Amino acid sequence: MRSRSFSTLASALDADLIGFIGLGNMGLPMASNLLTHGRRLLVFDMSDERLQEAQKRGAKAAQSVAHVAREARVVMTMLPATKHVKAVYLGETGLLANLGEKGSLIIDSSTIDPVSAEEVNKEATSAGYRMVDAPVSGGVPGAVDATLTFMVGGTDDNFKATQPLLAMMGKSVVHCGGPGKGAAFKVCNNLILAVSMLGVSEGFRLAESLGVDLNKFASVVNTSSGRCWSSDTYNPAPGVMDNVPASRDYVGGFAIDLMVKDLGLALSAAEVTKAPLPATKEAHRLYGQVAAKGHGSLDFGSVYKYGGT
């Protein structure tokens, strides 16, 4: 492993090469937006198909996590769960063991529990690197359109250094507090999203059963007190909106399995803080039922079709 001393990057934009690990439904379009802004990317993913697609868009494919770490002074990760983050960051073949220069910047946009986010940040800081947790909200449409909201946890200096790069992928970059606070914001936000999607699904399902024109109903809801992101941007009722998962039988988007995972993170955090979350427990059960029926890979809006059946 290289261990040379370099001047501290004032901004992530000062790096001539950005490492990006994790090219899933969110990561690939996020990386694409960095390429659109003229950044040079070295990318890695376990999927050869995803790597090839990133190469078509102008990125260079790495052979491993360690390869990315050795070449890039700024590395961004977008991974499915806590276990993947720990696998990528820790161990002899991981990111922290192979980053070449002290003071390198690390951005983790994965959705993980706040305690683990703090732990990984502590490991990175102890190794001489600078890190922020920066999970996102906005879903796949936001990733594609570069309209994501980044919730950033880290020191003031590290936030300032990473903000310009994050702004290339989102419309809002918010400093939420110290290490782990971005993860805390994200877990709480997704709790609200999960519960609100259930409410929208049940409201539209009842409306349909009453013979209501769902398009007219949507126009009223979206100018009334029932309006929310799940109703006006990501409506789960087929035929109400184009270019959302409900318009393609819930293929793509944010998987039920991931929502079950995120609600589990919220419930785990609540166990530590003793916060009562009765609606979250019920939402976790309902989404889990849909996943158990074999629909876990479908978008979470599929609770409109499969929830409660």
Are residues 190 and 168 located together in one domain of the fold? Answer: no
Are residues 173 and 259 located together in one domain of the fold? Answer: no
Structure confidence by residue, pLDDT tens digits, 67-78: 999 999 999 999
Model confidence at 244, pLDDT cuts 50, 70, 90, reads: very high
Can you read off the two tokens belonging to residue 144?
């594609």
Question: Is 2 within the bounds of a domain?
Answer: no
Q: 11 to each of 16, 28, 33, 93, 147, how far by Cα in Å?
A: 11, 23, 18, 27, 21
Are residues 110 and 216 located together in one domain of the fold? Answer: no
Question: Is 14 within the bounds of a domain?
Answer: yes
Are residues 161 and 219 located together in one domain of the fold? Answer: no
Are residues 61 and 95 located together in one domain of the fold? Answer: yes
Q: Which of 186, 261, 274, 293 is catalytic?
A: 186
Residue 255's beta-bridge partner residues? 299
Tell me which of 128, 160, 177 is where a domain ends. Answer: 177
Whether residue 94 contacts residue 65, with contact meaning beta carbons closer than 8 Å, is answered with yes
Whether residue 72 contacts residue 19, with contact meaning beta carbons closer than 8 Å, is answered with yes
Are residues 153 and 295 located together in one domain of the fold? Answer: no
Structure confidence by residue, pLDDT tens digits, 29-59: 999 999 999 999 999 999 999 999 999 999 9
Place of tokens 């109703």: 231
Are residues 168 and 245 located together in one domain of the fold? Answer: no
Segment 13-33 mean pLDDT: 94
- Report whether pLDDT(9) > 80: no
pTM tops 0.85: yes
Total of domains in the chain: 2
Whether residue 25 contacts residue 253, with contact meaning beta carbons closer than 8 Å, is answered with yes
Tell me which of 177, 199, 221 is where a domain ends. Answer: 177
Quick count: other Cβ atoms within 10 Å of Cβ 214?
Answer: 17
What was the pLDDT predicted at 4? 40
Are residues 165 and 206 located together in one domain of the fold? Answer: no
- Report whether pLDDT(287) > 50: yes
Place of tokens 């990386």: 31
Tell me which of 113, 147, 177 is where a domain ends. Answer: 177
H helix or E strand, kind and range, residue 202? helix 181-209
Are residues 94 and 149 located together in one domain of the fold? Answer: yes
Q: Is 11 helix (H, G, I), strand (E, B) or coil?
A: coil
Are residues 201 and 163 located together in one domain of the fold? Answer: no
Q: 34 to each of 46, 76, 105, 130, 248, how far by Cα in Å?
A: 20, 11, 16, 20, 28
Can you read off the two tokens belonging to residue 194?
């999960």
- Report whether pLDDT(259) > 90: yes
Sign of CA dihedral 227, 231, 232, 233: positive
Q: Is 306 helix (H, G, I), strand (E, B) or coil?
A: helix
Are residues 125 and 271 located together in one domain of the fold? Answer: no
DSSP 76: E
Sign of CA dihedral 253, 301, 112, 228: positive
Domain that includes residue 89, residue range: 7-177
Q: Mark whether 86 is an active-site residue.
A: no
Are residues 45 and 157 located together in one domain of the fold? Answer: yes
Q: Distance between CA 145 and CA 147 in Å, rounded?
A: 5
